[in-house]
Amino acid sequence: MVNKLVTIVLLAIAVCLFSCGASAQLVPTSYGFPTIVQSNNAVSYNQDTANALDYQNVNVDFPSSLAFSPGVDMAFPSISQTSLQTQSVTHTDYSQSNSFSEFAYPFVGIGTSGLSGFGL
């Protein structure tokens, strides 16, 4: 009988030692995938117009007569030049861009962690 009592006591002590080392503080577990979504759209329209005008006028007038001797005159022609240049430039830009990004992480809350799913 003593042998049986010693065996029961030793078995009880062994069970107490093993059970004291393992403990857990469990709370209800929640599952899900919280998702962060960002979407944006940008449209750009630009139009430039440039006008240029270049007007040049040159007149070269020589004396109407050069008398070398009585009855002999020399005359030079008058030179006139006019230049008109115009330029018109139009430039148009159109741009459209779309962006979409999404981030999700597995959310598992076990224990008292404040940020579940991030390994804490």
H/E stretch holding 19 reads helix 2-21
Note the pLDDT tens digit of each residue in 51-101: 999 999 999 887 766 666 677 777 778 889 999 999 999 999 999 999 998
Domain count, the chain: 1
For residue 15, tell me if it sits in a domain.
no
Using only C-alpha atoms, what is the Rg of the chain?
51
- Could you tell me the residue range of the domain that residue 88 belongs to? 25-109
Q: Which residue has the higher pLDDT, 33 or 88?
A: 88
Q: Please state the φ and ψ torsions of residue 13, each to the nearest 5 degrees.
A: -65, -40
5 part of a folded domain:
no
Higher pLDDT, 82 or 106: 82
Residue 5 has what pLDDT?
82
pTM for this one? 0.36
How far does CA 108 lie from the centroid of its chain? 33
- Report how far residue 55's alpha carbon sits from residue 59's, in angstroms, rounded to the nearest whole number: 14
